[in-house]
Structure 1
Amino acid sequence: MNIARMLRQALTVARRDFTATVMTPTFLLFLLSPLLMIGFGLVGSLTASSAAGSGEARQRVVVIAAPKEAAEITTADQALRKLFPTPKARPALHVEGQGYDLAAQARALLDSKQFDATAVLYGSLERPQILRRPSGWSDANYLAQLAEYTLRVQRSGGARALSQPEIVIVTSGQASGGGRSQTAFFATLGIFFLTLMLSGQAVGAMAEERSNKVIEVLAAAVPLESVFFGKLLGAFGSAMLFVCFWGTLFANLPRFLPTSIADGLSDLSVAVGPIFPLLFVVYFTMAYMLQSAVFLGVGSLAGTQREIQMLSLPITIFQFAMFGLASYAAGNPGTWIALAAEIFPFSSPLAMAAHAANSPALWPHALALAWQALWVAITVTVAARLFRRGVLNSGSPKRSKRRAERRTIDTAVS
């Protein structure tokens, strides 16, 4: 009966906190904050790519050749560029006619005002001479291969294609190991980002309610354990609303992406199959409960915003350390470090989400969830006691009543 009553009281506090958090214009801004982050990231990347592209557009690799070889070199360059992800992976080719002093001409081309030459090739194709800038190592190697390929084309009788390949795009079949590793890393990153972004909400609400004495009113009305669990559930409810909103958007994102990007996303795969989204949500829940309980417990001991910031910093550093450990586990499944990341309670949700992408076995998840649930219970219990200690030390009515009774007893004894 007492448990049912405490649960009702906790749900009442949770509903209060959830409504106070969600039904505000600030939460709408918070819900759309990733759009602002994405927008700033796009603006920054476009600015950087524009600055880099303006410099790369002036770059050239130069070949000094006789007119009879110029066409063959240009054809060979077009064939070699098909091996790169994009034709612009290497600077554009500029073929220059031969002068009297080839070495002096090559050095003059490196100092040309018309373009930025990164490497210049001159001399015969059998013994080519290449001058390059300090940063033009790869471009010099490209010119060396260009000379080799052109010479082979000349000696084989021309650049006419001898084969006609038929390329078929396969969009289904067995998942690749690389696709699983990428999904494992993105799952780890997703849980880390969400917990880092959402678990700190409860601390700010805690500091605000301690400053305006609301927490003391709640502590006088219901048991402190109910207040703690209610705040934890309320924060989790707003976090799940955030996750459901953005999860729905990302699930439909491939429909609006260009075909090339959507095809790249199709390479991502998971080993456990359709159950992976459910495991992701469950592991996010475990990670969120662990982190939020720690934040609530520690935040209840802080009296000012400065103290909260000082206490939040080591917790955030610890979160980054857990992310690094789980990221290594995502890329190196089966190693002892991956096993340690899956066992350690605070990195286990992230590492096991990666494990779900890399391994099809389901029984490890049953053990991991039981293990994590145990540590969630331990963490919540310890945090609840810290919460009680912090609230009582802040001068709650119960604490004041005890002090008054103690002063009365001391006066009567004296």
Structure 2
Amino acid sequence: MTPFLKNMAVVARRDFLAIVATPTFLLFLLAPLFMLGMSLVGGLGASQLADSARGAGRIVVVAGADDVAALRSADTRLRDALGGRGPATLDVRIASPKGDDPLVIAQEKGADTYAVMVGPLAAPRIVEREEGSRSGRYLALLAEEVLRDRAAGAVPPVAAHFESIRSGGTSIAVQQSMGFGAVFAIFLMTLLLAGQTVSSLAEEKGNKVIEILAAAVPLESVFLGKLLGMLGVAVLFIAFWLAMAAGGGLIAATQIDPATLSAAGAGKPVAAMLAVPATGWGFFVGICFVYFIMAFLLLGAVFLGVGAQAGTVREIQMLSLPITIFQVGMFSLSSAAASAPGSPLARFAEIFPFSSPFAMAARAATDDAKAVHLLALGWQLLWVALVIFLSVRMFRAGVLSGKAGWKFWKRRQRA
């Protein structure tokens, strides 16, 4: 190792042990238990996302051009008779000469498709997401209503052929809730853990330790060592809670009757437990962890660079407030992007460097494309390097100027 890397490793180990090797670190690990109120807020937000996505659901009918107007008219009458409590929005399409595959239509992105009906109205083929669903029965009733109108009297029941696509994947509403959960978790952990860098810096500026470190090793090593030391604490924090979650999941799995999982119509709780993000649990958890590291490095570097410009603890706290407000804004932007995947707002959130880690984590829950995450990580690494480069310069100027940290800005203005 070069002297620079050795110095950086020493500072990182010092900062890591200064936090971990203390009795109060246990309280720090258990901090999420004292933040249940914020978790409830996240749960309410996820519920709202699920409701909005559920409202974007649809049922699809592929019929001949002569049947389109009759189907829409019958749908209007049925919904009026049901008092507006009908199923999702009806999407009527004209049949293609080459034929239409209901399974392909059911898997189209952008909205939950609960049921698809194709074929002649007297004997249609209905593909439904869940066996025996309300949407599938409504489509059969809709076809029967059209036939009754044309016959001007009683007609035999429609001989519909039902198929289930329950194994077709987790609903978009649930996946969007997963995306919001990922955004909320990364934001919460980033704000909680990256903020510790400012607390450590404030303490060391108060007792002059930072000046001793500056005299002993290059300030670039001090900066990177502090950043990596806090990253190590963050990784330990996440590993602890992942182990707790895995243990809790194993205990819960032993308490579930296997017959319940295999039974038809097991219910929404079991379906929620079996929900899977679009990219799969392994990739989703791994990429969310990488995006957390990107977000932590961005925010931690900014905290260290700006915090070094202050001469007192009060000034450090005041400087941290705008950064925190900015981070809350990134959380709001990413949350909105999670509720509208594929929209221009989502694309902007995925490209903007400080919201990109959050928005891309949400995208991993709803989009099965994996190669795009490599491009996103490359883009984020470029900005991490740029932010660290600028923050190191700010950190160096702030520490060397002592209490007159704002001289850095004056020198920049003169230049």
TM norm structure 2: 0.61
Number of the residue aligned with 2:237: 242
How many Å separate the matches in 1 of 2:402 and 2:186? Answer: 34
Report the CA distance between 1:175 and its aligned residue. 1.9
How many residues matched?
Answer: 272
Deviation at residue 37 of structure 1 after TM alignment: 3.0
Matched position secondary structure for 1:12: helix
Question: Aligned equivalents of 2:167 and 2:300: distance in 1?
Answer: 40
Counterpart contact for 2:198–2:303, Cα < 8 Å = yes
- 1:387 aligns with 395
For residues 135-174 of structure 1, what are the structure 2 equivalents within 5 Å?
A: 173-174=168-169
Contact 1:179 1:267 in 2 (8 A): no
Q: 1:193: which partner in 2?
A: 188
1:272 aligns with 2:286: no
Retained in 2: the 8 A contact 1:183–1:268? no
- RMSD of the alignment, in Å? 2.8
Which residue, 338, 341, 345 being the options, matches 1:330?
Answer: 338
Q: Hey, what's the Cα distance between the residues in 2 that align with 1:373 and 1:300?
A: 23
Aligned to 1:251: 246
Does structure 1 retain, via aligned residues, the 8 Å contact 2:187–2:331? yes
Structure 2: how far apart are the matches of 1:38 and 1:327? 19
SS at match of 1:280: helix
Letter in 2 for 1:174: G
Which whole-Å CA distance do the structure 2 matches of 1:40 and 1:318 have between them?
Answer: 18
Larger radius of gyration: 1
Is 1:369 paired with 2:383?
Answer: no
Letter in 1 for 2:355: S
Q: Report the Cα offset of residue 215 of structure 1.
A: 0.7
Instruction: Report the Cα offset of residue 171 of structure 1.
Output: 8.3
Query: Does residue 29 of structure 2 align to residue 31 of structure 1?
Result: yes
- 1:315 aligns to 2:313 (yes or no): no
Unmatched segments (≥5 aa) in structure 1 = 43-82, 84-168, 397-414
**Deviation at residue 254 of structure 1 after TM alignment:** 3.5
C-alpha distance in 1 between matches for 2:18 and 2:300: 18
1:346 equivalent to 2:344? Answer no
The one-letter amino acid paired with 2:278 is: A
> Are residue 301 (structure 1) and residue 309 (structure 2) matched?
yes
* Superposition deviation, residue 233 in structure 1: 0.4
Q: Return the alpha-carbon distance in structure 1 between the equivalents of residues 354 and 176 of structure 2.
A: 21
Between the aligned partners of 1:226 and 1:311, the Cα distance in structure 2 is: 23
1:41: how far off? 8.2
Name 1:355's counterpart in structure 2: 363
Counterpart CA distance in 2 for 1:171 and 1:23 is 50
In the alignment, what sits opposite 2:4? 6
Following superposition, the deviation at residue 298 of structure 1 comes to 0.9
> Partners of 2:325 and 2:166 in 1: how far apart?
41
Is contact 1:297-1:384 (8 Å) kept? Answer: yes
**Which residue identity does 2:29 align to in structure 1?**
L
The code of the aligned residue for 1:311 comes to L
C-alpha distance in 1 between matches for 2:275 and 2:331: 21
Secondary structure at 1:227's aligned position in 2? Answer: helix
Structure 2 counterpart SS, 1:361: coil
What is the match of residue 20 of structure 1?
A: 18
Distance 1:261 1:250 in 2: 21
Shift of 1:173: 4.8
Alpha-carbon distance in structure 2 between the residues aligned to 1:172 and 1:240:
35
**Deviation string, structure 1 residues 54-75 (Cα, Å, up to 9, x no partner):** xxxxxxxxxxxxxxxxxxxxxx
Q: Show the counterpart of 1:229.
A: 224
Q: Secondary structure at the match of 1:283?
A: helix
* Equivalent position amino acid for 1:349 in 2: P
Following TM superposition, by how much is the alpha carbon of 1:330 offset from its aligned partner in structure 2, in angstroms?
A: 0.9
Distance 1:35 1:395 in 2: 38
Aligned counterparts of 1:328 and 1:373: Cα–Cα separation in 2? 24
Secondary structure of 1:236's partner?
Answer: helix
CA distance in 1, matches of 2:182, 2:227: 24
Q: Deviations over 1:277-327 (max 9, x none)?
A: 110110000000000001111111112221122111111111111011111
Distance 1:40 1:385 in 2: 36
Q: CA deviation at 1:252?
A: 3.4
How many angstroms does 1:332 deviate by?
0.5
Cα displacement (A) at 1:385 = 0.7
Deviation of the 1:32 alpha carbon? 1.1
Do 2:180 and 2:335's aligned partners in 1 also have CA atoms closer than 8 Å?
yes
TM-score (norm 1): 0.61
- For residues 392-411 of structure 1, the aligned pairs below 5 Å read 392-394=400-402
Deviation at 1:247, TM superposition (A): 1.7
The residue that corresponds to 1:48 in the other structure is none
| Identical-residue share of aligned pairs (%) | 53
Distance 2:39 2:346 in 1: 32
**Structure 2 unaligned residues grouped into runs of 5+:** 41-84, 86-163, 257-266, 405-415
CA contact (8 A) 2:310 2:403 kept: no
Deviation readout 1:238-271 (Å, 9 max, x if unpaired): 1111111112222333445586896264253211
